[in-house]
A = this chain, B = another copy of it.
Amino acid sequence: MAARRSPTTTEPASFSGTSKRERILRAAVEVFARSGYFNAKVTDIAKGAGVADGTIYLYFDGKEDLLVTIFREYTRNYLHELEKRLAGVNRAEERIRITITHHLETLGSDRPLAVVSQVELRHSLKFMSLLSQQEVADYLNMLRKVVEHGQAEGVFRRNLHPQLVAKSVFGILDEMVTSWILSEKEYDLAAQAEPVADFVLNGLL
């Protein structure tokens, strides 16, 4: 008998070459973005990934784990990319600009991910605490170091509390993304990087 595909491997063409785990994760991002975490049905994620409901439980602990994992993996990836972009850049001002650009470019190019990141990851205090203790904290620390570095260099004002600046920059970026998601008109989020950097660096006055 000629070689034939095993029946179980028959999958929608679009899935070819991606691991089940990745497909589930991506389907989850899309379903969460579309329906919201609480209204998202595991069945729909399974359908989106082209697997059986039960299969999801072979890779993840459940619906909540899916959300946490999405956040962790995408954040980890985000930070790695950012580090790469920052490698070799020494000027503090330039590091700030790159960080801002990276944030807006990354989320600006993946709306479902942005929705999950801005909306779905924030439904419960417990969940937000969990995330902010690890991943968000890492991000804020990175920002804080850039500021401290700039202050040590003498480029940034010394009478600013670095942690407060870090939070402020994060807050601005966060709001830019949220605002973009909710906007009725489509526009290029990354285009905001320059004016945002200008404001952060120079202030109002």
Contacts and interface: CB of A to CB of B under 8 A. Distances in A.
- How large, as a class, is the contact surface on chain A? 35 or more
Contacts of A119: 122-125, 128
Contacts of A115: 125
A77 interface: no
B167 A175 contact: yes
The A contact surface, by secondary structure, is helix
A102 to B, nearest CB: 17
B199 A165 contact: yes
A204 interface: yes
Interface of A: 33, 36-39, 93, 96, 115, 119-120, 122-126, 128-129, 132, 147, 150, 155-157, 159-161, 164-165, 167-168, 170-176, 178-179, 181-182, 192, 195-196, 198-205
A198 B160 contact: yes
A29 to B, nearest CB: 13
Nearest to A178: B128
10 contacts: A36-B125, A119-B125, A119-B128, A156-B205, A164-B192, A168-B196, A170-B175, A200-B204, A202-B203, A203-B205
Contact of A125 (B123, B129, B160, B181): B181
A128 B119 CA distance: 8
A145 B107 CA distance: 29
Contacts of A172: 167-168, 171-172
Contact of A175 (B155, B171, B198): B171
With most chain B CB atoms within 10 A of its CB, the pick from A39, A156, A167 is A167
